[in-house]
Amino acid sequence: MDQSKRDFIDFMCSAEVLTFGDFVTKSGRSTPYFVNTGRYTTGAQMNALGAAYARSIVERFGDGFDVLFGPAYKGIPLVVATASALAREHGRDVPLCFNRKEAKDHGEGGVLVGHPMRDGDRVLIVEDVTTAGTSIRETVPILRAAADIELAGLIVSVDRMERGPAGAGSALAEVGREFGMQVEAIVDLDDVVEHLQPGGGAAHEIGTDDLARIAAYRAEYGVPGRLTAGPG
């Protein structure tokens, strides 16, 4: 694992975005860990977050996109921070867009805010976490209703490495196959567990109880990774 991934995991822990305990995900599953990007609360944190997304996008997508899209609500600050970092640190001034939860019936109207989608636009979706792929399946029809766009891909902060609804691999991979797009994560659960192992020297090590609960959760819901031979 490279240092940038370790730094990002430490960053999430410091901001209390990555926490361990008893939580319920959007998909309704009880989970021993949670990623809540709503806990990024300062300008410095948003700068660092945008820089992490931008770096991963440049490394993994190159120039293969024209527009960044952030699904409401958490995707809105993510897409703004990412677009700012791409311009500031990589010299790429990329248009951005996000959606409203409810269509506006006055002023400019509509559901989308920002860049007006055009036929042929290659859209890269910037999201926080994909557990079951629900939000992406809600987002894609909105984009396709606006124009004949191409889905360039999806990037999330953490791949939870959980089985998708179809049981044909991880939720993130299933979304990619379903919509024919590249999917990427800044880090995945294997990275998190590897970096935060007790005795590994990380600033935010997790205990053996947390590791056991994560292992049990993965045995029930996970897909195989570097650190486990869990169910496929």
Q: How far apart are CA 199 and CA 105, in angstroms?
A: 57
Active centre residues (catalytic): 104, 106
Tokens at residue 8, please?
Answer: 């990002």
Contact 99, 142 (CB under 8 A): yes
76 bridge partner residues: none
φ, ψ of residue 26 to 5 degrees: the values are -60, -30
Strand partners, 97: 69, 114
Do residues 7 and 197 make contact, with C-beta atoms less than 8 angstroms apart?
no
- Strand-pair category, 110-114 with 150-159: unpaired
Alpha helices in 62-133, H assignment, sequence order: 75-90
**Is 157 within 8 Å of 185 (Cβ atoms)?**
yes
DSSP letter at 5? H
Q: Give dist(CA 91, CA 164) in Å, integer.
A: 36
Instruction: Record the tokens describing residue 165, joined without a space.
Output: 């609804």
